[in-house]
Amino acid sequence: MALLDTDVSVRNVVTTDPERAKALENDVRAKIVDALADRALTVAQLREELADRGEQKAETTVRHHVNVLSEAGIVELARLEEAGGATRKYYRSNTRVYAYDLPDGADEQLADASELVRAELLSLVEELGEEHGDEIAAVAREMRPCEYCDTQHYEEFVVRELIDRALTDLGESGAVDDLL
């Protein structure tokens, strides 16, 4: 006799590769990504920013964390400046990390909005399939399997990436803030 038997549905999807996930599992690196989200900083400036956030780190340690994030493709070199015979490197994050949870009761409060989004996305996915299904399938065929998964959802991942990138572009352009 089962002590618990419940239907568990997927409510969250994480779409990142293991290298990026490993790079972000460190609190200091997450703070670096956040600090570099809206402006380019040098390692020395990052060290100061981290100190302001309660993280006292040596500049070499900060540089190590920036290198890990850079190798994972999360942080990029944004600018080089000459500085007294040396070169000053400025870094910027190309990734936004949201570490939020919706408050209790949000699902009920947003139920109507959720239904609207679901209906509009269904229509959008249908249109994507009709107009770009061959391209989506071609990209999906080129993807390598997830080494951790028995089930592969390539086409779904491609569509999620298209939607996520479009929403990211709208957010970065200020369109989402302007409309809400």
Q: 70: buried, middle or exposed (CB in 10 Å: 19+, 13-18, 0-12)?
A: middle
* pLDDT (0 to 100) of residue 146: 79
Which has more pLDDT, 146 or 31? 31
**Helix (H) or strand (E) run with residue 64 in it:** helix 59-71
What confidence category does residue 6 fall into, taking pLDDT thresholds of 50, 70 and 90?
Answer: confident
Class of domain 18-93: mainly alpha
Q: Is 85 helix (H, G, I), strand (E, B) or coil?
A: coil
Please give the helix or strand (H or E) that residue 79 lies within, else none: strand 75-83
Percent of the chain whose pLDDT exceeds 90: 63
* Res 4: pLDDT: 77
With a cut of 90, say whether residue 29 has pLDDT above it. yes
Whether the pLDDT of residue 129 is over 80: the answer is yes
Going by C-alpha positions, the residue among 156, 119, 175 that lies closest to residue 13 is: 156
Which residue shows structure tokens 């947003």?
Answer: 110
Q: Domains of the chain: which residue ranges? A: 18-93, 106-174
pLDDT in tens, 55-111: 999 999 999 999 999 999 999 999 999 988 889 999 999 988 887 889 999 999 999
